[in-house]
Amino acid sequence: MLGEAIIKGMAVTAKNFFGSYVSKERLPTVQYPEERLVPKENARQFPFLVYDGDDWEKGLRCVSCQICEKECPPKCIYIIKSKDKKPDYKGQAQFYPARFDIDISVCMSCGICAEVCPFESIKMDTEFELSTGDRFGGLLLPKEKLAKSNEHYRKVHPTDAAASDAVLAAEIAKAEAKAKAAAEAKVKADAEKKPA
Amino acid sequence: MSAVAGANPRNFELLPKGDANGGELLEISMGPHHPSTHGVFRMDVVLDGEKVVKLKPVFGYLHRNHEKIAEGTSYLASMPYTDRLDYFCSMTNNWAYALSVEKLAGLTVPERAEYIRVIMAELTRVLNHICLIGFFVQDMGALGTPLMYAFRERERILDLFEELTGARMMCNYLRFGGVRCDVSESWLKRAGEEVVKLESFMDEFEQLVAQNEIVMARTQGIGVLPRELAINASITGPMLRASGVNYDVRKVDKYGIYDRFEFKIPLGEHGDLYDRYMIRVLEMRESVKILKQALRDIPDGPIMDSKAKLRGFRPKPGEAYGRIESPKGELGFYLISDGSPNPYRYRVRPPSFINLTILEDMCLGQRVADAVIILGSVDIVLGEVDR
């Protein structure tokens, strides 16, 4: 019969239309600023720099190795290495970034920087409401704005943060064991020296 | 659409008289800003009445210098750029690139990672075909409704991608020698549920569209692509199979672990628009079959080759061509390495670009309104055509 399939098609439409009053499945629209979807745990937007403790300048994990700058596909990271050194989380003297800028108008949120970083210091944030009227200065983030605490990282990516904390704890344990071994060796060497 | 006779200002020749009612031929520039061109694409059409007598596809409006950029960055840094070629199917683009780099560097992929890749590729195929069918029906004038249904389903698959990889479309998920992060048990369970839902959606959508008289009248016998021409023009993918040529890289190359799955290759008979539409519907059903098998059989184990290096990756000098069956056709990456951290030559074989070359042959003698659907059935994404 001519038009049979059209009637069938309209039945499907009607089912969806009236169904949307009954079943939540058929009502997928979310009224954004008032209602919000729960963000996915793995969601990534723009990078940030992790710091430990309260003082961001002291606790910044970045040692300015510039691997992320090299690997960044759109080349949106700009780093100047410091002349002097400061102690890192293990107490070891390391360089720190004298300047660390990310142009998030260029950044394409790929997450390569977080992946290649060997020091667990650059991670992806989930914040997305970053619109600004100042399209040049407002989107070029210096390290003051990029630095966020480890607590923030634990809040946005709990699973990844736990893994990264474990890596750092292992590193600290290793460094302590090494220092202890070195100290013991020194004591032993001293003890051996004394009789002679 | 601007309708200007003799749109080329440097060429003031009057167009010859047409056959229809003794009128003149009319040159129309369809696009680049035209909703039916699926992006910034222009068709220079010469019309005789409503009949197309000449058609010239004009592209390059979205050229982003992808290949040259890739020659200047490291191998890993090109991976997120491949997401942006065919932005509907980032996972399959990743796979094609990863495959050629793995060939170049001699990396093997662990079992579990191969299964994850198949799951991702087939989900991508389903979502690409869902979108394509939605747009295809919209090009015929069904404004909104079917496309919204299609997008509702697509969003569910994208939710799965986002949960796993962190991004809906630009997944950046595959790595050389494996995948970036492991899938969890709960994710696999959810994926299984979504696959079942997809099946019921396909039934619903088919009821809406497949037997519809208007769809049949608009598509059957229109835009025929003969078998010989399809082979000679090196068309690949659903376009080729709709013309009745049994060629699918998944079966021919058996890349990855595709030899372990049981699935059929649907073939068309007439090579017209309706066949091209139906091929996609049937392919989705075959993809669902593969997905069910892969989700059932996925083993435990590592997801990365132990030889794979994330930083300081330098493959030895040589060349490699890796190709896969992307939802649009054969997608290949050709790489030459000179031993440095970045490729010496990087070349993409984009399926939708090559499938677009026979647009004129399919459109000649058809109405201008049909030219719009014929373009829709080619399934182009301008990110991939222009690169």
**pLDDT surpassing 90 at residue B6:** no
Distance CA A99, CA A81 (A): 7
- How sure is the predictor about A195, in pLDDT bands with cuts at 50, 70 and 90? low
Does residue B213 belong to the interface with chain A, where contact is any CB pair within 8 Å?
yes
Best of B64, B66, B71, B73 to mutate (most A CBs within 10 Å, chain A): B73
Task: Flag if A116 and B163 touch (Cβ within 8 Å).
Answer: no
What are the sequence ranges of the domains in chain A? 47-181
Tokens standing for B55? 């058609």
The answer to whether A42 and B163 have CB atoms below 8 angstroms apart is yes
Tokens standing for B209? 């569209």
- How sure is the predictor about A160, in pLDDT bands with cuts at 50, 70 and 90? confident
Task: Flag if B77 and A108 touch (Cβ within 8 Å).
Answer: no
Q: pLDDT digit string (tens) for B154-204? A: 888 998 998 888 888 888 898 888 888 888 888 999 999 989 888 888 888
How far does chain B reach from its first CA to its final CA, in angstroms? 25
Q: pLDDT digit string (tens) for A16-29? A: 888 878 877 777 77
The answer to whether B53 and B25 have CB atoms below 8 angstroms apart is yes
> Which residues in B lie closer than 8 A to residue A13 (C-beta atoms)?
145, 208
Distance CA B36, CA B139 (A): 6
The continuous run of DSSP H or E covering B365 comes out as: none
Tell me how many degrees the CA angle B32-B281-B283 measures, rounded to the nearest 5: 105
Beta-bridge partner residues of B333: B322, B348
**pLDDT surpassing 50 at residue A170:** yes
Neighbours of A127 (CB within 10 A): 13
Distance CA A186, CA A189 (A): 5
Percent of chain B with pLDDT over 90: 16
Does residue A142 belong to the interface with chain B, where contact is any CB pair within 8 Å?
no
Query: Measured between alpha carbons, how far is residue B40 from residues A59, B133, B328, B350 in Å?
Result: 48, 20, 18, 17
Task: Flag if A109 and B73 touch (Cβ within 8 Å).
Answer: no
- A-facing residues of B in 90-149 (CB < 8 A) are 145, 149
Cα of B70 to nearest chain A Cα, Å: 9
Task: Flag if A5 and B212 touch (Cβ within 8 Å).
Answer: yes
Please name the residue of chain A whose CA is at the shortest distance from the CA of residue B211: A5
Please name the residue of chain A whose CA is at the shortest distance from the CA of residue B209: A9
B349 burial (CB, 10 Å; 0-12 / 13-18 / 19+) is middle
What number is the ipTM of this complex? 0.80
Does residue B207 belong to the interface with chain A, where contact is any CB pair within 8 Å?
yes
Q: What are phi and psi of B193, to 5 degrees?
A: -65, -40
Largest separation between any pair of C-alpha atoms in chain A: 112
Query: Measured between alpha carbons, how far is residue B140 from residues A114, B118, B134, B143, B367 in Å?
Result: 45, 33, 10, 8, 13
Tokens standing for B201? 């959606």
**pLDDT surpassing 50 at residue B230:** yes
Q: Does A47-181 carry CATH code 3.90.226.10?
A: no
Beta-bridge partner residues of B48: B51
Please name the residue of chain A whose CA is at the shortest distance from the CA of residue B166: A43
Tokens standing for B105? 């560097």
What one-character-per-residue DSSP string does A67-96 give? Answer: HHHHH-TT--EEEEEEEEEEE-TTS-EEEE
Does residue B79 belong to the interface with chain A, where contact is any CB pair within 8 Å?
yes
Task: Flag if B207 and A6 touch (Cβ within 8 Å).
Answer: no
The answer to whether B319 and B335 have CB atoms below 8 angstroms apart is yes
Which DSSP letter does residue A32 get?
A: T
Percent of chain B with pLDDT over 70: 93
Q: pLDDT digit string (tens) for B317-336? A: 999 999 999 999 899 999 99
Beta-bridge partner residues of B29: B2, B44
Task: Flag if B211 and A42 touch (Cβ within 8 Å).
Answer: no
Beta-bridge partner residues of B174: B179
Nearest to B204 among A12, A44, A108 (CB): A12
**pLDDT surpassing 70 at residue B16:** no
- B-facing residues of A in 89-108 (CB < 8 A) are 108
